Copies of this chain bind each other. A is one copy, B any other.
Amino acid sequence: MTTRRRGKDLEDAILSAAAEELRESGYPGMTMDRVAARAGTNKNAIYRRWPHRAALGIAAYRHLADAAMPDPDTGTLRGDALEMLRRANETWSSPFGAILRGLLAAAADDPELLTLMRERSGADTMDRAWLAMIQRAVARGEAPGEAAHPRVAATPMTLLRGEYATRGIPSVPDEILVEIVDEVFLPLVRGRAG
């Protein structure tokens, strides 16, 4: 330990350590002591940068996330929607998604943290992608223009999240995704005609 890290170097080391802890133990299992130890520093350095454990957790989560997949384009609205749901399901059911859910659970009481989460977790990006997808379908004449409504766009993802919330875990079976698309999303889009 000849040299002593400072500023950004140290900050990155802490974030990486926290991210690894998140990956290994989830948010509830991420302790400040272990993060400090893993980063080869001490809690002072952490608390000088982040006020809470939660703040560090969110910041570290961001360190993991960098998805930014391209929009699906299967040619049909049904195909695109299913693809989106399947991708989301994969993400949410990965250990990675478990972390996100842990964070969400911890933030559930704290509006301030919740908005932080929304920004970082790409939920808004997701909604925009759905809207764009619907607009492509409208352009193809596959859906009525009234279908391009934010709440319609957000519905399938909300339903998927609902599955996680009530079932609780590993992964939502594909039939459910199909059901969400065929029994809710597509009828909804059609029902908005005229």
Contact = CB atoms under 8 A, between A and B. Distances in A.
A166 B186 CA distance: 24
A119 to B, nearest CB: 12
B184 A155 contact: yes
A191 interface: yes
Copies in the complex: 2
Most buried by B among A98, A118, A154, A191: A191
Contact of A180 (B26, B109, B151): B151
A166 B122 CA distance: 12
Contact of A166 (B110, B114, B189): B114
A158 interface: yes
Given A152-B183, A184-B151, A166 B108 contact: no
Contact of A167 (B111, B158, B162): B111
